[in-house]
Structure formats: C-alpha cells, structure tokens
Amino acid sequence: MQKSQEKPAFKPFVPHQDTLIRANYHTHTTWCDGADSAEAVIMSAIAKGYEAIGFSSHVAFPDTIPGMLDPRKGLEYAAEIRHLQARYADRIKVFLGLEADYIPGVTAPESSRYSALNPDYMIGAVHYVVTDDGSRVPVDNTPRMLMDGIAAHFRGSVEAYIRAYYRQLREMVSRYAFDIVAHLDLIRKFNVRNPYFDETAPWYCDEVAHTADVVAASGKIVEVNTGAISRGWLDDAYPSRPFRDLLRERGVRFILSADSHAAATIDCAYERFSTAEHFLTGVEWLGTR
C-alpha cells in the first residue's frame, strides 16, 4: 500500500511584531452551524486585509450531530475548501481545518479518523461532557440544557460536572495528536449572565492549574478565543485572564481565534486582544514551531 504524502506540520501565520493579527483559523460556515458560505467568508477576509483564513467545520465522525458537518458530506466539504484555496490563491491563503469533538467512546480528534479529508490542521474540542453511562451534557448549548444536564447526570453538583469536563479535556489533550486546543474553559460561557460557580474557588483553581500543566506538557497551541464576546455571553476570551497567565508561565504558545460563525465576525475583539495584552502581541504570542 502506498503511504499518503507527508504534510509539513501546521504553521500558523506569524505576523510582524506588534501588528494586528490578520488571520483566523477557527471559522464556521453553512457546512456546519455558521451563517455564511465559505466563499462569503473569504470575501470578508480579503476585504479586511487578511493574510490567511482557515475553515474549521464542526465534526464528530462517525456521529451525525445537528449543527455539525454530516459525515457523508466530509469529502464534499474538503473539496470545496480546496477548490476555493486554488481559486483565491493569489489573494489570500486558505486552509482546510476541522474542529473535532472528543466524545469518549464515540469520536476523537485523531488524524486517522479524518485522513480521507486530509486537513491542514485540527482543533480539538469538548462540547459535551460524557457521563459513565454514556449520557452527554451539552456544555455550551443553553443555560437551561446545562442545568438540566447537571441535575440529571451529576446529582446537581456543579463541581462534579466541571471536574468531569476538565478530566475529559485533559484526556483529549494528552491522548490525541491535534494542533490547537479549543476554548479551554468553555464551561465559563454562561457564568456571567447565569452565574453557577465561583471561578476563584480553590477546587476550581486546582482544576485549572492541573489542566495548564497537561496542556503545557502536550506542546499544543492554545487559542485565545473571542467567540463568546461576539455572541454577547462574555466580555473576555476563553481561556480567562488568570488561566492565560498560568499557561504563559508554562511557556504555552497562543493563537488568536474568533470562533466565527458569520463572515462579519472573523476579527471580533482582535484589536483588543492583539494590542491590549502585552503577551498577545507580535511574534511572542503566536510563537514558532
């Protein structure tokens, strides 16, 4: 059997020091739960003077989950992005990526599972906390669904639910080979408008520190994800400022990402995060590989 062609490791676009980032690698389209077509997003990126745009459709192969790419359309998705990549090659770099879910026992962000699509990079994500009996509690769907899930599957214990979330996340990070870790503390999404836990509680800080250790040891890139800002849930990125500080202390590399679900939001809060925080400027925050 012929071995498939080796691809170079994913190298995010590294901007000149102290310049606004002109790239986004976390982008959704009508292939999953985004509002606009991939081509409309590319036109927006070109209009904004972007150097690169990467598409990252939600996937959980072989599962079919509403709002995610239908596994039967995987090759079609890959073909369209490659077609657009060639078509716009003289104006912008286009990358084919995936935001692959980790649902223990069902799906994981592992390259062998998606080799037919031959993606340029993979983002690993936890959107469902899976219980011992295989039930799924949706992390970021609605506050109501989250609270019902914690009541039904964690006996109402928010601490047990959040510890299970981080355990699953650490398992994903340490077990599978992918490039970027998505929205590390997604469990914060509802915690401003519908507060349900104390982010300064010692047990929570322990989970965060332990997770920072595991992420640092993995060598994976962490995204500073502004998606909850564009959707009005939070006024800060994932992960939180204290979490970012712990990661930075451990030498973790960051990538700024909009987790965009529309052509207009591919640079949400970029100005703020690429200039306001010293460590998010220029070469240092993207790092090199």
Which residues form the interface with Zn ion (CB under 5 A)? Answer: 99, 125, 182, 259
Omega of the bond prior to 66 within 30 degrees of 0, cis?
A: no
Q: How far is the CB of 29 from Zn ion (least distance, A)?
A: 11
Judged by beta carbon, residue 49 or residue 67, the one nearer Zn ion is 67
Judged by beta carbon, residue 94 or residue 281, the one nearer Zn ion is 94
Write the DSSP string, the chain.
-PPPPPPPPP----PPTTS---EES-B--TTTT-SS-HHHHHHHHHHTT-SEEEEEEEE-TT---TTS--GGGHHHHHHHHHHHHHHTTTT-EEEEEEEEE-BTTTB---GGGGGGG--SEEEEE--EEEPTTS-EEESSS-HHHHHHHHHHHSTT-HHHHHHHHHHHHHHHHHHS--SEE--TTGGGTTTTTS--S-TTSHHHHHHHHHHHHHHHHHT-EEEEE-HHHHTTS-SSPBSPHHHHHHHHHTT--EEEE--BSSGGGTTTTHHHHHHSSGGGSHHHHH---
Q: How far is the CB of 211 from Zn ion (least distance, A)?
A: 17
Judged by beta carbon, residue 142 or residue 157, the one nearer Zn ion is 142
Judged by beta carbon, residue 36 or residue 259, the one nearer Zn ion is 259
Q: How far is the CB of 256 from Zn ion (least distance, A)?
A: 14
Judged by beta carbon, residue 125 or residue 180, the one nearer Zn ion is 125
Q: How far is the CB of 63 from Zn ion (least distance, A)?
A: 15
Separation CA 278–CA 6 (nearest Å): 36
Judged by beta carbon, residue 181 or residue 281, the one nearer Zn ion is 181
Q: How far is the CB of 128 from Zn ion (least distance, A)?
A: 11
Q: How far is the CB of 233 from Zn ion (least distance, A)?
A: 13
Q: How far is the CB of 123 from Zn ion (least distance, A)?
A: 7
Separation CA 50–CA 43 (nearest Å): 10
Judged by beta carbon, residue 164 or residue 182, the one nearer Zn ion is 182
Judged by beta carbon, residue 131 or residue 141, the one nearer Zn ion is 141
Q: How far is the CB of 101 from Zn ion (least distance, A)?
A: 8
